């Protein structure tokens, strides 16, 4: 999961602290209990995702959801869970709410605390998955349970989907979309808790809230040089390692063309004030004149360059089979983050041209591409009103992430998806995938206000006369 844009994380917009939490003591106690239970599941394995899905299913049944509206969707060794909150149909097509149950592995010997025991210290809740993505998961689950207990009837169906392998294969989400599409119906759009969110300054002041509306495509390739080899005492000019090295040097010098879309231009426009001097001015001008080559050159030398083009970089090397033998094979792994709308096959063709005819370029595993979601006025307005109810005047802006979430599968399936995670935190505390992963205690509770606000903005009945 990639939660923050580098430029936006550095933004200088500051707001007053949010008002006190509006949750009841009972709701806070319940969400804390669920959070503690789900962190305890080591969902780096498929089997534990199945166990967690069944645990959540029981919570929803106990909360009044009918069996016919709760579905466990198996895929491989894992599973996902889907829950439908039925509305009255007056407000349009269903909205999807996304999170994932699985986590990356955590070695107990490297952590300061047991990664699968929720520990509260110094205003933080520690545990693997605390941020990525079990906080978002319990925010959505608890909000569904609370609204159901209150007798809330949405104007449209709300469909919750918690996948079981976002960090690895994505098979559960792919199975949902290919084999069980009827369960989500004709969903109009999706709100994803696994992306977006708010950034706090080191002093705890709110800076920005970003809405993920696009993701780069993750694709890896192998560059392979082959050679008959021979004895190392008789070197030959066509050495596989040297040929691979030359191809990688050409890749190092190559830059894909500058590109832009609605999301990236709006990101530049909103981030411009955070950068004093020529860089901020160039961002603002580029947002208005993206074809200006001088502005392109200026920004391509900044931290924003990965928002402007496809990038491919060598990440792994393997070559040779003995110290006294000429190499018969040398292989490099090249990882690409492809700009939305660019075909993976086109990138492979470009890489082959760079590598040359003597190097074999092949895809390393499957890749999944998706276009950017449109900046829907209803979604952006609902997010803005919800966030500004907590932080008046905060800048809310779309962004494109270089990482990947389940959102790419839904976008590829024709369902616009928006990353709107409800956690605000300091960049220095964001340890998703890292040691001592954590989430602020108050962030756990405040996220409930966030998701309730989004649902009521988008699916609450209009007040009577």
Mean pLDDT confidence for 181-193: 97
The residues pairing with 124 across neighbouring beta strands, listed in sequence order, are: 121, 440
Of the candidate ranges 19-33, 47-61, 327-341, 437-451, the one whose mean pLDDT is the lowest: 19-33
DSSP characters for 363-424?
E-S-----PPPP--HHHHHHHHHHHHHHSTT-EEEEEEESS--THHHHHHTT--EEE----E
pLDDT band at 205 (very low <50, low <70, confident <90, very high): confident
Mean pLDDT confidence for 87-108: 96
What pLDDT is recorded for position 20? 40
Mean pLDDT confidence for 139-155: 98
383 neighbors 375 (Cβ within 8 angstroms): no
Domain 6-215+371-459: CATH architecture, name and number where available: 3-Layer(aba) Sandwich (3.40)
Q: What is the pLDDT of residues 3-14, one digit of tens each?
A: 433 333 334 344
Please give the model's pTM, rounded to 2 decimal places.
Answer: 0.87
Percent of the chain at pLDDT exceeding 70: 94
Mean pLDDT confidence for 64-77: 97
Q: What is the pLDDT of residues 401-430, one digit of tens each?
A: 987 899 999 999 999 999 999 999 988 778
What pLDDT is recorded for position 464? 56
Q: What is the pLDDT of residues 224-270, one digit of tens each?
A: 999 999 999 999 989 999 999 999 999 999 999 999 999 999 988 88
231 neighbors 323 (Cβ within 8 angstroms): no
For residue 437, what are the CA distances in angstroms to 129, 135, 145, 252? 7, 12, 26, 34
What pLDDT is recorded for position 274? 66
Mean pLDDT confidence for 54-72: 98
What pLDDT is recorded for position 310? 96
Mean pLDDT confidence for 271-278: 74
Q: What is the pLDDT of residues 157-172, one digit of tens each?
A: 999 999 999 999 999 9
Q: Given a cut of 80, is residue 1 above it in pLDDT?
A: no
Q: Given a cut of 60, is residue 198 above it in pLDDT?
A: yes
376 neighbors 189 (Cβ within 8 angstroms): yes
How does the average pLDDT of the chain come out, rounded?
A: 91
b/e code 405-428 from CB counts within 10 Å (16+ = b): bbbbbbbbbebbbbbbbbbbbbee
> What residue spans in the chain does CATH classification 3.40.630.10 cover?
6-215+371-459
Distance, in Å, from the CA atom of 309 to the CA atom of 351, rounded to the nearest integer, reads 15
What pLDDT is recorded for position 18? 43
> What residue spans in the chain does CATH classification 3.30.70.360 cover?
217-363
Q: Given a cut of 90, is residue 431 above it in pLDDT?
A: no
At 432, list the tokens. Answer: 């998703």
443 neighbors 123 (Cβ within 8 angstroms): no
Q: What is the pLDDT of residues 292-301, one digit of tens each?
A: 998 898 888 8
Mean pLDDT confidence for 110-118: 95
Distance, in Å, from the CA atom of 244 to the CA atom of 332, rounded to the nearest integer, reads 8
Q: What is the pLDDT of residues 306-339, one digit of tens each?
A: 889 999 999 999 999 999 999 999 999 999 999 9
Mean pLDDT confidence for 104-119: 95
> Which residue, 200, 172, 223, is CA-closest to 362?
223
Mean pLDDT confidence for 86-93: 95
What pLDDT is recorded for position 21? 47
Task: Decide if domain 217-363 falls under CATH 3.30.1330.10.
Answer: no
What pLDDT is recorded for position 465? 55
Does 31 or 465 have the greater pLDDT score?
A: 31
What pLDDT is recorded for position 207? 86
Q: Cα angle vertex 224, ends 219, 226, to 5°? A: 165
DSSP characters for 28-80?
HHHHHHHHHHHHHS-TTSHHHHHHHHHHHHHHHHHTT--GGGEEEEEETTEEE
What pLDDT is recorded for position 306? 86
């Amino acid at each position: 999961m990639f939660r923050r844009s580098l430029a936006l994380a550095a933004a200088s917009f500051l707001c007053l602290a949010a008002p006190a939490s509006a949750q009841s003591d009972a709701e806070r106690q319940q969400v804390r209990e669920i959070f503690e239970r789900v962190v305890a599941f080591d969902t780096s394995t498929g089997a534990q995702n199945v166990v967690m899905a069944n645990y959540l299913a029981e919570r929803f049944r106990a909360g009044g959801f009918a069996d016919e509206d709760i579905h466990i969707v198996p895929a491989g060794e894992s599973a996902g869970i889907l829950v439908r909150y039925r509305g009255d149909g007056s407000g349009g097509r269903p909205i999807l709410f996304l999170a994932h149950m699985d986590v990356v592995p955590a070695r107990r010997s490297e952590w300061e605390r047991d990664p699968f025991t929720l520990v509260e210290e110094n205003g933080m809740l520690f545990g693997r998955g605390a941020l990525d993505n079990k906080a978002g998961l319990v925010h959505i689950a608890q909000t569904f349970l609370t609204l159901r207990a209150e007798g809330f009837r949405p104007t449209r169906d709300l469909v919750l989907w918690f996948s079981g392998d976002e960090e690895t294969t994505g098979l559960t989400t792919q199975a949902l979309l290919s084999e069980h599409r009827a369960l989500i119906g004709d969903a109009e759009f999706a709100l994803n808790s696994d992306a977006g969110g708010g950034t706090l300054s080191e002093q705890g002041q709110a800076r920005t809230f970003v809405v993920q509306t696009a993701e780069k495509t993750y694709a890896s390739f192998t560059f392979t040089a082959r050679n008959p080899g021979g004895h190392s005492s008789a070197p030959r000019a066509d050495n596989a390692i040297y040929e691979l090295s030359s191809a990688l040097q050409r890749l190092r010098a190559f830059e894909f063309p500058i590109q832009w879309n609605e999301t990236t231009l709006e990101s530049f426009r909103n981030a411009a004030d955070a950068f004093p001097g020529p860089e901020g001015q160039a961002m603002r001008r580029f947002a208005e004149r993206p074809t200006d080559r001088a502005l392109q050159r200026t920004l391509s030398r900044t931290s924003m360059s990965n928002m402007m083009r496809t990038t491919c970089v060598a990440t792994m090397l393997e070559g040779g089979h003995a110290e006294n033998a000429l190499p018969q094979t040398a292989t490099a792994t090249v990882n690409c983050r492809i700009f939305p709308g660019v075909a993976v096959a086109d990138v492979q063709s470009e890489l082959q041209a760079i590598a040359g005819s003597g190097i074999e370029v092949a895809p390393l595993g499957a890749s999944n591409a998706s276009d950017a979601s449109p900046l829907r006025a209803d979604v952006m307005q609902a997010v803005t009103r919800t966030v500004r109810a907590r932080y008046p005047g905060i800048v809310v802006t779309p962004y494109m992430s270089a990482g990947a979430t389940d959102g790419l599968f839904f976008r590829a399936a024709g369902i616009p998806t928006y990353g709107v995670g409800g956690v605000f935190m300091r960049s220095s505390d964001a340890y998703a995938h890292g040691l001592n992963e954590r989430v602020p205690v108050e962030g756990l509770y405040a996220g409930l206000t966030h998701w309730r606000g989004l649902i009521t903005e988008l699916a609450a009945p209009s007040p009577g006369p």
